[in-house]
Amino acid sequence: MRCPHCGSLEDKVIESRTLANGDSIRRRRECIECGYRFTSYERIEEKQFMVIKRDGRRQPFDRKKLEHGIERALEKRPFSTMMIDNIVSEIEDEAAMSGKAAHEISSQALGELVLARLYDIDKVAYIRFASVYRHFENLAEFISEVNKVGEMNGNEH
């Protein structure tokens, strides 16, 4: 595996972990040349996992798009790159498991997986993602969503 820091091809595996019921393996590696640590993933190549858009179009699942949306929601929040990568991997695994039979998932179901995960870890990120995902038409809809989050936490407004 080529080191993303120095380009060396010499590395050692520090830790391996099986993900998604054995369908993939996450490996933590350390470059022997410079000591940089990085993560690689091994997956079985099979039929491409698809996302069904709201208008019925099908697109290949794009981990980068998922990662970008989550990064935007967690921007300036106390989450490291490694934590975000783990969150993305967990959501990707959940999506793959829920759409396993058909090798596809609706964009709505994928969005709901993201919302559920963000709700559990950071309410501000949840509201940020929900405001884009749910296409709030006006301020009242946005305020209503914020109030729901506050009520679920037992906070008074």
Please tell me the distance from the alpha carbon of residue 113 to that of residue 88, in angstroms, as a whole number.
11
In a domain, 157, yes or no: no
pTM of the model: 0.62
Q: Kind of pairing, strands 104-106 and 50-52?
A: parallel
Q: Would you state the pLDDT for residue 156?
A: 44
In a domain, 16, yes or no: yes
Q: What is the pLDDT along the chain (157 residues), one digit of tens a residue?
A: 899 999 999 999 999 998 877 778 999 999 999 999 999 988 776 678 899 998 999 999 999 999 999 999 999 999 998 999 999 999 999 998 887 778 899 999 999 999 999 999 998 998 888 877 766 676 777 677 777 776 766 554 4
Tokens of 46: 């099979």
In a domain, 31, yes or no: yes
Please tell me the distance from the alpha carbon of residue 130 to that of residue 115, in angstroms, as a whole number.
7
25 and 102 housed in the same domain? no
Range of the domain at 4: 1-45
Q: What is the residue type of 28?
A: R
In the chain, the number of structural domains is 2
Q: Would you state the pLDDT for residue 24?
A: 85
Q: Would you state the pLDDT for residue 153?
A: 65
